[in-house]
Amino acid sequence: MRSREMYPAGVPCWVDLTTPDPLAAAAFYRGLFGWEITPAESAETAGYSLARLGDAEVAGVQAVADPTSRWRTYVAVADVAETANDVTDAGGTVITEPMPLPGLARVAFCRDPQGAAFGLWQPAGMPGAGEVNKPATWNWSELNVPDPEPAARFYEAVFGWQCDTLDLGGEQTIMVRLPGYGAFLEIIDPGIRQRHETGGAPPNFTDAIAWLQPLGAGDDDAAYWSVTFAVADAVATADQAKPLGGQVRVPPFTAGGTVVAVLADPHGASFTISQYAGATAEE
């Protein structure tokens, strides 16, 4: 799956960066991923820019006064106000009420009961990321929480997600899936289910929309959503981070058939890069 023109409700569809210095962010991500970051066309979206790879919108950049920079994940919804009510009913918190991002979407920001923040995205001009799962684009998002079981119940109540515990290369991980999503993918990308099965993917992998990991006892961070970008060469990309003013927080290592590393941009926004070992990130 590469180019995207729509996302079903309940599927993560967009990521953006909050930063106090959009110009520095633009320079860093241009050097790292080849993105061109320009202001969104609507004058009403002052402070919001779009990162493009070629002709495709691949991420957003929001200027903020807060010196803390971070990546945010949005989930596609049919009705942002209705879903915000579902969040509250399920025990979460709406921290920013539904509001327009003119020309792009209606959005809201929420926290789950363990404190992980996420966005709701009701398309109003842009469905979400136009390119995914290829080098220099968003690959997936991962929920990191102290207690996975109540997290699974919350997101099932809000979005209908299901969680499967998997053993990948001797390590346990939790795959988050939206039942029926694979049928949608098969329509827009015929043969994807068979490719997953042939490649040894776990059952129901075509329905996968995110991953969930328990935070360890020694982790300092509260619950959070992290983002991962696909790259052609994780080692080379990690080597570029420091000269561009970023950091390598976790050096490249191999896990579950991928080479991954955790980087941070010049203002501390953390993100993961992932290179599929033995295959291109586009597959």
Q: Which amino acid is at 20?
A: P
Q: For all residues of the chain together, what is the average pLDDT?
A: 91
Q: Phi, psi (5° rounding) for residue 201?
A: -65, 150
Provide the whole-model pTM: 0.93
Residue 132 class from Cβ within 10 Å (0-12 exposed, 13-18 middle, 19+ buried)?
Answer: buried
Structure tokens at 102: 């003119």
Q: Domain 138-276 classified CATH 3.10.580.10? A: no
Residue 204 class from Cβ within 10 Å (0-12 exposed, 13-18 middle, 19+ buried)?
Answer: middle
CA 242-217-230 angle, to 5 degrees, is 35
Class of domain 12-123: alpha beta
| Between 269 and 172, the higher pLDDT residue | 269
pLDDT value at residue 221: 64
Specify the domain boundaries for CATH 3.10.180.10 within the chain. Answer: 12-123, 138-276
Average pLDDT over every residue of 108-118:
98
Q: Is the pLDDT of residue 266 over 80?
A: yes
d(CA 83, CA 64): 25
pLDDT in tens, 15-65: 999 999 999 999 999 999 999 999 987 756 678 999 999 999 999 999 999
pLDDT in tens, 131-152: 999 999 999 999 999 999 999 9
